[in-house]
Structure 1
Amino acid sequence: MKPIKSLPKSGKTIALTFDDGIVPVIHEQMLDILKQEQVPATFFLIGNNTNEKQLITRAIKEGHEIGNHSMSHPVLPSLSDTQIFEEIQGFQTIMQKQYNYQTRVFRAPKLRYDTRVMRVLTELNLVPVNATVGTKDYAAETTREYILKTATQSPKLTDGSIILLHEVQKTADVLPAIIKYYKQAGYTFMTVSQMLASESY
């Protein structure tokens, strides 16, 4: 199994994914926008940031997907076998115990995998997810205009694309414009797991 970059068999669909949460104020702002637009998204959260129970409960209740982004955001291949397992399993345990939620998808910090990481994902029945495009919205020099253009106009984009965004203010600012673009183009928004199910992955 290789990390998934897109799911074209899911048809004219698009998945918005947000990494490195929860950043409370921005997360709430994004949830408000997504609720208003009736758009589901996938949030790849960091386990050490999952104490914002009200926001995570709200995200789940409103139909968003919670993905595993490790406990502390390390470069996983640099860790020992035991540490890799703890980083991934720890997140699963938190979501199950605190939220009664079974996480199905995983995105490695910095998209760095190796055979040991993949072995743990197989053991835990997690699907590795990368992205069709990344917007570099985490970088200080990245402009709102660049984020919007990359998320909507990149030549890599196709049906079933997975767009990698982060919980940063610049992205929240352009999120309505990204959603508007895809709605006008006739796309259906899905979580990653919804796309996986529609493609019978």
Structure 2
Amino acid sequence: MSEGARGWSRRDVLRRSALLVGGVAVGVGASEGWRSTHRRLPLAGGPASATLGNGRGVGSGELAVIWSVPTGQRLVALTFDDGPAPQWTPMVLDALAQHQVPATFFLVGAQAKRHADVVRGRLGGHEVGNHSWQHRDLAQMDAAEVYDDLSRSHDAITDATGSAPQLVRPPYGHLGGAVLHAAARLNYRLVLWSLQMVEREFPDDPAGHARRITTEVRPGTIVLGHDVGDHRRLVALRGLPDMIIGLRERGFTFVTVSALLAAGVRPTPAPTR
């Protein structure tokens, strides 16, 4: 690997070489020690850092990142991002209601405020999560900005739906230390996904797309869909009834993400030596 690929400058390499005397490296913390260019990054603050320094609480003090849930039960969670919006969200809610399927909606705060009438009174049995205020890339923001963004969205979603979100999904699935820190401060559980709807692979073929997803679901799968976006995503939404029927034929039960988490089996810890 080249020095550039490691993020070291030529000066860094020369300084490091000078510290190797008789096979013993001088500690980095020494007054004349080697300093990597990475030391220019902030220890606390900035998008990468997951700390704001001393004396700053972070909710429960820990945060799990969830892609799927280990379970022996044939459970699956459908999730829909980016809404609500009047064009597609009612279509999704109608299909779910017809087949009595619960789902989890990761709402954009600004959308929830603007289109509260779309979801008001229609989310019984469903779950809401926080998907940021305006779908900006939170991984490019510092911890204070992320916290303010998610807090603003949290309040808007709560006002629009009557339910306070307990889950967060960052836009694009992008994680940075600041995202983790803000999510922990808000006592959220951070949820990504293990299977994504692939609408572009099935243009004008809702049934084909439904078969693809139905085949790939495993116990504990979290499926990512969207109820807002490019018109090509309608392939998945129009095939949603077939997807539901196909998964039920395979013996799957639909649950919200939180219900899936509650049904999960904790992995056995490795024995200590």
Q: Which 5+ residue runs of structure 1 have no aligned equivalent?
A: none
Using the alignment, how far apart are the partners of 2:209 and 2:168 within structure 1? 23
2:224 aligns to what?
164
Using the alignment, how far apart are the partners of 1:28 and 1:152 within structure 2? 23
Q: Does the aligned pair in 2 maintain the 1:44–1:69 contact within 8 Å?
A: yes
2:262 aligns to what?
197
* DSSP 3-state at the match of 1:24: coil
Residues 37 and 142 of structure 1, relative CA distance in 2, 3 Å threshold? same
* Matched AA of 1:56: V
2:253 aligns to what?
188
Structure 1 position 99, deviation (Å) = 3.7
Using the alignment, how far apart are the partners of 1:72 and 1:10 within structure 2? 37
Using the alignment, how far apart are the partners of 2:170 and 2:158 within structure 1? 20
Q: Which has the higher helix share?
A: 1
Q: Does the aligned pair in 2 maintain the 1:10–1:196 contact within 8 Å?
A: no
Residue 239 (structure 2) pairs with residue 174 (structure 1): yes
2:96 aligns to what?
34
Q: CA RMSD, aligned part only? A: 2.0
2:165 aligns to what?
103
1:43 aligns to what?
105
1:55 aligns to what?
118
Residues 96 and 22 of structure 1, relative CA distance in 2, 3 Å threshold? closer
Using the alignment, how far apart are the partners of 1:200 and 1:91 within structure 2? 31
Q: Which runs of 4 or more aligned residues in structure 1 lie more than 6 Å from their structure 2 counterparts after TM superposition?
A: none
Using the alignment, how far apart are the partners of 1:166 and 1:98 within structure 2? 19
Q: Percent identity?
A: 29
- Which structure ranks higher in relative contact order (CA pairs < 8 Å, sequence separation ≥ 6)? 1
Deviation digits for residues 19-38 of structure 1, max 9, x if unmatched? 11112131111111111100
Residues 165 and 89 of structure 1, relative CA distance in 2, 3 Å threshold? same
Residue 191 (structure 2) pairs with residue 126 (structure 1): no
Q: Does the aligned pair in 1 maintain the 2:76–2:221 contact within 8 Å?
A: yes
2:136 aligns to what?
74
Residue 83 (structure 2) pairs with residue 21 (structure 1): yes
Q: Does the aligned pair in 1 maintain the 2:211–2:246 contact within 8 Å?
A: no
Structure 1 position 200, deviation (Å) = 7.3
Q: Within 5 Å, give how 1:127-166 maps onto structure 2.
A: 127-137=189-199, 142-143=202-203, 144-145=205-206, 147-154=209-216, 157-166=217-226
Q: Does the aligned pair in 2 maintain the 1:133–1:150 contact within 8 Å?
A: no
Aligned residues: 196
* Matched AA of 2:220: G
Structure 1 position 59, deviation (Å) = 3.1
